[in-house]
Amino acid sequence: MRRIGIILSVVGLGLAIGGYVFFTGERKAPVRYRTAVVERGSVVSIVSATGTINPVVSVQVGTQVSGMIKSLHADFNSQVKAGDTVAVIDPEPFKARRDQAASNLEMARANVTRAKTDWGQRKRELERVRSLIDQQFVSQNDVDMALTNAQTAEAQVHVAEAQVRQAEAALNSADLELKYTVIRSPVDGVVVARNVEVGQTVAASFATPNLFLIALDLTKMQVDTNVSESDIGGMTEGKDATFTVDAYPGVKFSGTIRQVRLAPINVQNVITYNVVVAVDNQDLRLKPGMTANVAIVVAQKDQVLKVPNAALRFAPSVSGGGEDASSDGKSVKKEGRPSGGRPVSGGADTAGVTRKVWKQDESGKLVPVSIQTGISDGVATEIVGGTLAENDVVIVGQDVPRGSRAGGELPPGFGSGGQKKSRSRSI
């Protein structure tokens, strides 16, 4: 009886411990997934960039002569016509130079008259000596000397005439400089900037100083934006673009691509290209220099099958619900992204890329489905091939109960290690 009592005590103790563990021990929560439905709709692939609003044509008005600004005839926002006076440089020094050049011209002309008179005298002396040599009243040396003097006098006439032409050129230059003291607008437009004040001295010795900036037509503007080399392939002239500016929150302005410039812009080894967007500004709300947040429509498709990008990013983890992982753990961790582990950007150049999404079968087991993707708008991606059909349910993530994972641990399907950041990006 004593032995039976010991055995019953041991069995009772085991049952008590087992019951305590069963009712109070940690139990694994069932794995639940978030799902989405494959639907049909529009997908618009957009490239975003930042640019600056500028006039289509802007002219910098400078000065070709140095001097002090005597008066200004245009100010900021002034409407000017071609030929209108916008500024005047003090002309007095240039008038003095012009008078001096005119005096030099008169002196040069007088020298021509004197040289011609001397040349006439030398020619008459030569004729007289030549008439006397036949009578042997003069020697041949006297004839040669008279000939040399006549030729020298003729040369002096040519020198004096050249000096006249030189003086005329100097006078024309002085007249031109005096004319340049009156600065005129070269085009019809609006004065955007004025960089001088009355009394300021401008120097045009080494570089032409910019006095005014005149915009030709503010009703026609353009947005100069830089697009990265990875997105420039979808940029062509005539594509639609929209943009916003901070001055008008919530207002979208529209335009079209007017030019894709071929010159690369290299900033810290990052290559971009200037894409010019033409904008109509009849209401003059857009001002030069405003910063524009531009969205350029690269491609648009309507009534196509599309899958949420979250479904393309999702990949089940071997550790999160063993029955839901495939037999090949390495291949499962790499599902949901193309070869190389780099997320695909939402451009038209990604068409035909083979991707995988996950769905549950009747027993609740995860099954991979291969599809061919097309363009993406950052939220959904077009399906161009594969076995997915409209209204199919795909997995976009896994629900993890609050407090069931350690701090900093990401739920299955969002990668680990160095891939955490890239898997959380939008495709």
Residue 341 in this model has a pLDDT that exceeds 70:
no
Give the mean model confidence (pLDDT) for residues 159-175.
95
Within-domain flag for 21: no
pTM of the model: 0.63
Quick one: pLDDT band at residue 88, thresholds 50, 70, 90? very high
Q: How many helices (H) and strands (E) does the chain have?
A: 6, 19
Within-domain flag for 283: yes
> Which residues form the domain of 76?
66-89+184-216
Within-domain flag for 19: no
Q: What is the pLDDT of residues 173-193, one digit of tens each?
A: 999 999 999 999 999 999 999
Residue 107 in this model has a pLDDT that exceeds 60:
yes
**Closest of 337, 243, 316, 193 to residue 47, by C-alpha:** 243
Give the mean model confidence (pLDDT) for residues 9-36.
68
Distance CA 253, CA 294 (A): 9
Distance CA 205, CA 82 (A): 26
Residue 132 in this model has a pLDDT that exceeds 60:
yes
Q: Which of 135, 154, 180 is the last residue of a domain?
A: 180
Identify whether residues 188 and 81 lie together within a single domain. yes
**The pLDDT of residue 33:** 84
Quick one: pLDDT band at residue 133, thresholds 50, 70, 90? confident
Quick one: pLDDT band at residue 349, thresholds 50, 70, 90? very low
Distance CA 49, CA 227 (A): 6
Q: Which of 245, 266, 301 is the last residue of a domain?
A: 301
**The pLDDT of residue 327:** 34
Give the mean model confidence (pLDDT) for residues 395-411.
62
Identify whether residues 240 and 350 lie together within a single domain. no
53-62, 199-208, 231-240, 406-415: the lowest-pLDDT one: 406-415
**The pLDDT of residue 317:** 72
Identify whether residues 276 and 336 lie together within a single domain. no
DSSP per-residue codes, 332-345: HHTTTS-TTS-PPP
Residue 244's CATH number? 2.40.30.170
Identify whether residues 101 and 155 lie together within a single domain. yes
Quick one: pLDDT band at residue 205, thresholds 50, 70, 90? confident
User: What single DSSP character describes residue 136?
Assistant: T
Within-domain flag for 356: yes
**The pLDDT of residue 136:** 76
DSSP per-residue codes, 231-280: TGGG--TT-EEEEEETTSTTPPEEEEEEEEEEEEEEETTEEEEEEEEEEE
Quick one: pLDDT band at residue 234, thresholds 50, 70, 90? confident
Identify whether residues 257 and 363 lie together within a single domain. no
Q: Are 231 and 78 in contact (CB under 8 A)?
A: no
- Taking residue 329's Cβ as centre, other Cβ atoms within 10 Å add up to 11
Q: How many domains does the chain have?
A: 4
Residue 254 in this model has a pLDDT that exceeds 50:
yes
Within-domain flag for 189: yes
To the nearest 10 degrees (0 to 180), the angle between helices 92-133 and 140-180 is: 170
Mean pLDDT of the chain: 82
